[in-house]
Amino acid sequence: MMRSMTGFGKGTAECAAARITIEIRSLNSKGLDLSLRLPSAYREREMAWRKKLGDAAERGKVDVTIHREAIGQAALGLQPAWLEAAMTQLQEIAGAPIARGELLSMALRLQAPATSEELSDAEWTAIEQAMEIALAEFNGFRQHEGDALAKDLRQNIASIQTGLDQVPALEEERVTALKARLQRGLEGMDYDHGRYEQELIYYLEKLDVNEEKVRLQAHLHYFLEAMATGQGRKLGFLSQEIGREVNTLGSKSNNAAMQRIVVQMKEELEKIKEQALNVL
């Protein structure tokens, strides 16, 4: 199963105090480059989350943002228990009865103590829920993109295979053309037929592409096998090996039709190399 390194996922969950939104974005990269931005109150779990995200992403330039939006009383920064205590103390200090509204106004003008950053279990649960939703969407996006990549790569490999299948029919034509060219050069000359046969064999061996065809065929099959298991690094290596055989085939072709086939193969190979860079 092939997956792309390009991905996006978003998860949202909330508790009584906050709404948590987590976004995961990734692009292709040779290794894992993980960037995690989160509120300071969540730092105690940063390393655990980094490991979890890294295991899920495996490779790529991954940017993760955890956003916390306070809701309810927390959004206003109010501390009801502290306000009630302050109003009671103000009433005791004043002695004479004071209207509750005026007491509240007086309490609001006082400096409230800093709130503790200790989070409730409900908020930690909400964060983990948002993380799971974001990761599921992120992995689904990568799988969908991977399916599209696989379709394109199979088409590119099929095009190279088509070109390779056309080569044998042109080989006999090359031999015939070579013999005719040598014969034209020897017309009207008295020559050693044994030496002629030796020279002909030399040229035929020099232009023989059988090894290149066998190796190229093997690389194409291996490439498809590596796609089935989603091995991005191996696909990059195999595309280089395919390129070596195609280049050698072109240098030995000595035939216009075969040269055109090689050019088409190289065009497809460039597409393969570009696509393979994004395979996980």
- Residue 130 belongs to domain with CATH number: 3.30.230.10
Is 180 within the bounds of a domain? yes
| Domain range enclosing 129 | 7-73+124-144
Q: Identify whether residues 236 and 138 lie together within a single domain.
A: no
pLDDT the model gives residue 133: 98
Interatomic CA distance for residues 135 and 123, integer angstroms: 18
- Across residues 118-127, what is the average pLDDT? 90
114 is a domain residue:
no
**Burial grade of 20 (CB within 10 A; 0-12, 13-18, 19 or more):** buried
Instruction: Indicate if 227 and 206 belong to the same structural domain.
Output: yes
Let me know whether 242 and 161 are in one domain: yes
In-domain check, residue 196: yes
Q: Which of 241 and 204 is assigned the larger pLDDT?
A: 241
What is the chain's mean pLDDT, rounded? 87
Does residue 243 form part of some domain? Answer: yes
Phi, psi for 61 (deg, rounded to 5):
-90, 105
Which backbone phi and psi does 111 adopt, to 5 degrees? -85, 110
Same domain membership, residue 89 and residue 25: no
Tokens 């072109």 found at: 250
DSSP 52: H
Token pair, residue 194, equals: 């044994």
Helix and strand totals (H; E) in the chain: 9, 4
Least confident segment among 113-117, 124-128, 177-181: 113-117
Q: Would you say residue 139 lies in a domain? A: yes
Q: Which residue has the higher pLDDT, 171 or 9?
A: 9
Average pLDDT over residues 243-263: 91
pLDDT of residue 116: 47
pLDDT tens for 51-101 read: 999 999 999 999 999 999 888 655 545 667 767 888 888 888 888 888 888
Residues 131 and 156 in one domain: no
For residues 171 and 255, what is the distance between their CA atoms, to the nearest angstrom? Answer: 9
97 is a domain residue = yes
Task: Give bridge partners of residue 24 from the DSSP assignment.
Answer: 9, 64
Does 230 lie in the same domain as 206?
yes
**pLDDT attached to residue 171:** 81
Which of 108-112, 160-164, 219-223 has the lowest average pLDDT? 108-112
- The predicted structure's pLDDT at residue 103: 76
Which of these three, 144, 172, 195, is where a domain ends?
Answer: 144
Q: Are residues 133 and 222 in the same domain?
A: no
Residue 216, CA distances (Å) to 161, 191, 200 in order: 9, 39, 26
Higher pLDDT, 188 or 125: 125
- State the Cα–Cα distance between residues 156 and 102, nearest whole angstrom: 78
Q: Say whether both 14 and 131 belong to one domain.
A: yes
Range name among 53-57, 81-85, 223-227, 263-267 with the lowest pLDDT average: 81-85
CB 265 within 8 A of CB 246: yes
16 and 93 housed in the same domain: no
Number of domains in the chain: 3
**What are the distances in angstroms from CA 2 to CA 30, 140, 142, 198?**
16, 12, 9, 52
Q: Is residue 27 part of a domain?
A: yes
Q: Please tell me whether residues 40 and 101 are part of one structural domain.
A: no
Q: Kindly report the pTM of this predicted structure.
A: 0.76
10 contacts 139 by C-beta, under 8 angstroms: no
Are 259 and 224 within one domain?
yes
Instruction: Confirm whether 115 is domain-assigned.
Output: no
Asked whether residue 185 falls in the same domain as residue 268, the answer is: yes
Instruction: Give residue 207's pLDDT.
Output: 76
DSSP character string of 134-168: HHHHHHHHHHHHHHHHHHHHHHHHHHHHHHHHHHH
pLDDT at 93: 85
